[in-house]
Structure 1
Amino acid sequence: MKRHERLNTLLDILGEKGGLEVEEAAAALGVSAATTRRDMDALAEQQLLIRTRGGAVPGHVNYDLPIRYRQGARAVGRAAVARAAAGMVPPGSVVGLSGGTTTTEIARALARRPEFGETGPEPSLTVVTNALNIANELTIRPQIKTVVTGGVAHARSFELSGTFAETVLGRLHLDIAFIGVNGITPAEGATVHSEEEASVNALMARRAQRAFVVADASKIGTRCFARIGGSELFDGFLTDTSSPSEAVAEFDRSSLAVTVCGADDETDA
């Protein structure tokens, strides 16, 4: 197990149990106690947990982990969703990307498409985002015009929200938007942990001609604090092949059409 995978797993277990002893965590992770202590110390430095005499307890966070700690988990599923989403975007489009690990992968997939690498008098693609990390990755690509909404930054998700973000989005027209979420259910639709992020994400979806929820299978069945919307807002939901078939069928019955993206899938624009 790689280090970032251990850190993710350690935090997941800690969130479930509410506290962990070093030896217990070491056994669960299949590593030595010394390695576990070092991992706990590293997470404590990031204020993601609190070290105790013999282990650790959750810190003052809601375990919506920073993107840098979540990149390794569910990587294959996110990559499949990203390729399919990028394949839906024709040259010259204006694309909205919210924050999140899946939308970050979509930004990278878009940047890798050969037709978006061509230089010319006009940008081959315009990306509107409220995510600082996405803007940072795309800014170095001059053929892609990157528009950042502005707003108040959130440390865990790198997303911008608030009045500034909503004012900018309210003046823009998007061709297509991909919205990342923390949870999604057939009854509640897409949800996130923060009401401010939910408001910006919903507005980005409304400003687009077409809007899609993007999430790997781990988000299915989870309902978070703030609702973004369901089939009344989104044209569909892109997820990966590890999604349970019964859950996919339930979404279809709720009128939110699901596209299950496999490793070799690429959706035509």
Structure 2
Amino acid sequence: MKRHERMNALLELLGERGRVDVEEAATALEVSAATMRRDMDALAEQQLLTRTRGGAVLSSVAYDLPIRYKHAHRSEEKEAVAQAAARLVERGDVVGLSGGTTTTAIARALAVRPDFAEAGPQPHLTIVTNSLNIANELAVRPQIKIVLTGGVAHSRSFELVGPFSELVLQQISVDLAFIGANGMDPVMGATVHDEAEARINHLMAERARRAVVVADSSKIGARCFARIGGAEVFDTFITDGGAPEQAVREFTDRGLKVVTAGTVDAG
């Protein structure tokens, strides 16, 4: 991994967790602790994070959102998941997208599909999202209708959460919802680090005719603080081809259809 990619991956970790220590980040990004210290020091000089004893926390200033979303860690795996997810969408669908790097990749995959880019009197696709960056990217696409939930902007994920988001979601129905997760465990199901995000993600999944959890294989086996749900909410889990066979069997045994992008038809 090149240095700029590694730094973006470190910022993504901080965006998800708020705080990481040197050893934790070095293990996650597969580098030495000394390399991670140098990266943290360099980002601290740019005021993109604040160094702590043994680690780093997010800067008190909310900096450039695109830093997190331009060069996501494990971008090839996320792109494979995004393409598999996009193939499930049909013209005229109403699609729910939670925030996150994988769902951002799905939004981009949908935006460039030729059948959604054709000129016409009506939008070919409706996207409902609580993600500020997804709405920002798709708002310039006249053939895609964007519905942005209200709410309070979460400073780390740029997702809208809270009662206003819930009020909007309670009044709508979507055909497909793609929900990102920071952890995906056969027992706990999909989890994220923040309870407010988990609540909105759960509600968006409930409002869908079909709810799909999307996460690259590095998230399998991880359990985060707040639970979104398992097979009682989702019917499909899309991940990449690196998913362990044993884990795939466990998810399947618990009622989830598992699509490993690139090796299994997503239809």
TM-score by length of 1: 0.84
**Is the alpha carbon distance of 1:244 and 1:213 closer, same or farther for their aligned partners in structure 2, counting shifts above 3 Å?**
same
The separation in 2 between residues aligned to 1:143 and 1:75, in whole angstroms, is 27
Whichever residue aligns with residue 58 of structure 1, its letter is A
Between the aligned partners of 2:126 and 2:115, the Cα distance in structure 1 is: 13
Structure 1 Cα separation of the partners of residues 55 and 45 of structure 2? 12
Map of 1:106-255 to 2, 5 A cutoff? 106-255=106-255
2:228 partner SS: strand
- C-alpha deviation, 1:2, in angstroms: 2.7
Partner of 2:67: 68
Q: 1:19 to 1:232 in 2, by over 3 A?
A: closer
Quickly say closer, same or farther: Cα 1:242–1:202, change in 2 above 3 A: same
Taking the aligned partners of 1:248 and 1:216, their CA distance within structure 2 comes to 13
* Structure 1 partner of 2:7: 7
Report the secondary structure of 2:110's partner residue: helix
The amino acid that maps onto 2:56 is: P
Q: CA deviation at 1:266?
A: 6.5
Equivalent in the alignment of 1:17: 23
Partner of 1:80: 80
Q: Is the 8 A contact 1:7 1:69 kept in 2?
A: no
Aligned residue in 1 for 2:62: none
Unaligned runs of at least 5 residues, structure 2: 15-19, 60-64
- C-alpha contact (below 8 Å) 2:81/2:240 kept by paired residues: yes
Q: Does residue 90 of the first structure (1) align with residue 90 of the second (2)?
A: yes
Partner AA of 2:21 in structure 1: G
Give the match's secondary structure for 2:211: strand
Identity over the aligned pairs, expressed in percent? 53
Mark the CA change 1:117 to 1:10 in structure 2 (over 3 Å): closer, same or farther.
Answer: closer
- 1:59 aligns with 57
Is the 1:116–1:144 contact (alpha carbons within 8 Å) kept by the matching residues of 2?
Answer: yes
Give, as a single letter, the amino acid of the residue that structure 2 aligns with 1:152.
V
- CA deviation map 1:108-131 (0-9, x unaligned): 000111000012121100000000
Q: Is the 8 A contact 1:26 1:36 kept in 2?
A: no
- Which residue is equivalent to 1:38? 42
Contact 2:185 2:221 in 1 (8 A): yes
Specify the alignment match of 2:266 in structure 1: 267
Q: 1:36 to 1:176 in 2, by over 3 A?
A: closer
3-state DSSP class of the match of 1:59?
A: strand
User: In structure 1, what is the equivalent of residue 51 of structure 2?
Assistant: 50
Contact 1:41 1:51 (8 Å CA) reproduced: no
In 2: Cα distance, 1:203 partner to 1:144 partner? 23
Matched residues, number:
252
Taking only aligned residues, the RMSD between alpha carbons, in angstroms, comes to 2.9
Once residues 74 and 25 of structure 2 are traced to their aligned partners in structure 1, the CA distance between those partners, rounded to angstroms, is 25
